[in-house]
Copies of this chain bind each other. A is one copy, B any other.
Amino acid sequence: MILALSGGIGGAKLALGLSYVLPPEQLTILANTGDDFEHLGLAISPDIDTLMYTLAGLDNPETGWGRRDESWAFMEAVEALGGATWFRLGDRDLATHVERTRRLRAGETLSAITAEFCHRLGARPRILPMSDDPVRTRVLTIQGWVDFQDWFVGQQARPAIRAVQFQGTKEARPQPEAMALLASGTVRAVVICPSNPLISIEPILAVPGLRQAIRECGAPVIAVSPIIGGQAVKGPTAKMLAELGEPVSAAGVARRYGELLTGYVMEPEDDATGITARVFRAPTLMRGLPEKIALAKAVLAAAEACRA
């Protein structure tokens, strides 16, 4: 069994690669829910949805979020009513949020709802939220602490950040199936996908018990660098690292993960100075499906090498 920790776009690309290499019952994805928020009264789980849509072949490859072949009649009508339009919800995507919100209010867990949606939509690997309790990522800007989506989408990630915090991590319980899996001795590798460490991976590791369970599961922990040549492929990773005074480099991200890592997969040309984990070189830019599959294979080979 492979357990992959993932945020949205970049992580979902590797998860898709892994899903082509592994039978679905051997892949579990532990998804960041720190980006979750309530919008228009609806419960939105951006990373879960990106993973779910990607693994079901329903993702929108142009935007990296939402569904392909989407229409926007709802959004136009919301605008006509004077409602908020800064966070775009497509007509089809909306069904996910409305139905999830209804079920959450009826007392179902996010885990159970996600499992049902994945089954219905045809996303075969198991996707688990990091917790069924709310954890909310917030960033400190010059205007004070703001919710992540207000900054990321509402302000297009423009204001410089000075700190990141994960609200709710004191009370949040780790997802029980993930904990059981980690304790089972059946995990052959924990894969940290090339997601933003600050807002996609670290919220997962901040859920009480998860980091320790990963360290103690007996399997190698293999991360894939989200930084190539000092730049992030997509999103605000590089900007955020720089604003927090962190090195914008593959090695810098590896050092953030520290002794949690057994192995680190990074671009052949990038500098590995100071990385304590075993370094594996592979092309990490995943444009098409063949590159996603090749990287997935490289990650699994790295894990096997670390086990040997």
Contact = CB atoms under 8 A, between A and B. Distances in A.
A78 B91 contact: no
Interface string A94-119: 11101101100100000000001100
Contact of A99 (B71, B81, B98): B81
A102 B42 CA distance: 8
A73 interface: yes
A99 B82 CA distance: 9
A40 B102 contact: yes
A42 B73 contact: no
A77 interface: yes
Interface string A53-89: 0000000000000000011011111101111000000
Give the interface residue-count category, chain A. Answer: 20 to 34
A191 to B, nearest CB: 28
A256 interface: no
Contacts of A101: 41
Nearest to A100: B81
A124 interface: no
Contacts of A102: 40-41, 83
Contacts of A92: 73-74, 76-77
- Tally of this chain's copies: 2
B71 A121 contact: no
A120 interface: yes
Nearest to A117: B81
A42 B98 contact: yes
A71 B91 CA distance: 9
Contacts of A41: 98, 101-102, 105
Contacts of A78: 95, 98-99
A73 B72 CA distance: 9
Contacts of A116: 81-82
Contact of A91 (B74, B81, B120): B74
Q: Which 6 A-B pairs have the closest CB atoms?
A: A77-B95, A41-B102, A73-B91, A77-B92, A78-B95, A91-B91
A76 B73 CA distance: 14
Interface string A32-64: 000000001110000000000000000000000
Contacts of A70: 73
Nearest to A122: B80
A81 B40 contact: no
